[in-house]
Amino acid sequence: MNLSNTLFTKKDPATGELRGVAVDVMRELGSRLGVPVELVVHATPGDVADTVNKGTWDVAILAIEASRAQTISFSPPISEIEATYAVHKDSPLRSVEQVDATGIRIAAPAKAGYELYLSSALKNATLVRAKDIQGSLEIFNERRAEAVAGLKPMLLDSMARMPDARLLDGRFMTVNHGLSIPRGRPAADEYLKQFVQDLNSSGFIARSIERHGVKGLSPLK
């Protein structure tokens, strides 16, 4: 369970209980398999991906990303989220397409799915990597970056912490999340493929998103 993506997982500050779409999906998976579910908490998606071969988790929800596919096998996607930029209010940048320019620094949390994408997609701008989302916001607020990258709903939720920011129209990518397992498990791959197809077609993901009141996370049909 990755606590940095609150669109999927939130921790109750009073009880410590985990809630969200990711929790619903994992409990449904455990129920169908007839096995107990243990929720293993990680701070960031990078932490989850880095421990794929350490035996600490069997399945996770991660952004589907090509560089992770060397060690991680992904199911079909269960959702999609727009990723975009926030810039300073006095910035001359007006569109997402203008951000990839010489001299532009973009703050982003290291090993987030969209940071991995930008690492290969950017031609002229420079990435300034932070440990987590909060760190990337601090870099931006301190004007050590001209833009900050993020999932659109999470950036919208963070605007109060970025008083000098405005969101750019458009998106630089659409992030798809899927169920993830260590590579080399063909039976598990096939099972999760069928499992996800059933969740999507039955509306399970859509109902979970609605039940938790998540804004900006769209189910795949």
Q: What is the mean pLDDT of residues 27-31?
A: 98
At 52 the pLDDT is 95
Domain annotation for the chain: domains and CATH numbers: 10-80+175-219 (3.40.190.10), 82-173 (3.40.190.10)
Q: What is the mean pLDDT of residues 55-67?
A: 94
Closest CA to 145 of 83, 99, 114: 99
At 67 the pLDDT is 87
- Sign of the CA dihedral with 42 first, then 218, 164, and 129 last: positive
Going by pLDDT thresholds of 50, 70 and 90, the confidence category of residue 7 is very high
> Which bin fits 51, alpha (ψ -120 to 50), beta or left (φ > 0)?
alpha
The alpha carbon of 139 is separated from its chain's Cα centroid by a whole number of angstroms, namely 20
pTM for the model stands at 0.83
At 24 the pLDDT is 98
At 132 the pLDDT is 92
Cα–Cα distance, 95 to 106 (Å, whole number): 14
Q: What is the mean pLDDT of residues 206-219?
A: 94
Q: Which tens digit of pLDDT belongs to each residue from 118-161? A: 999 999 999 999 999 999 999 999 999 999 999 999 999 999 99
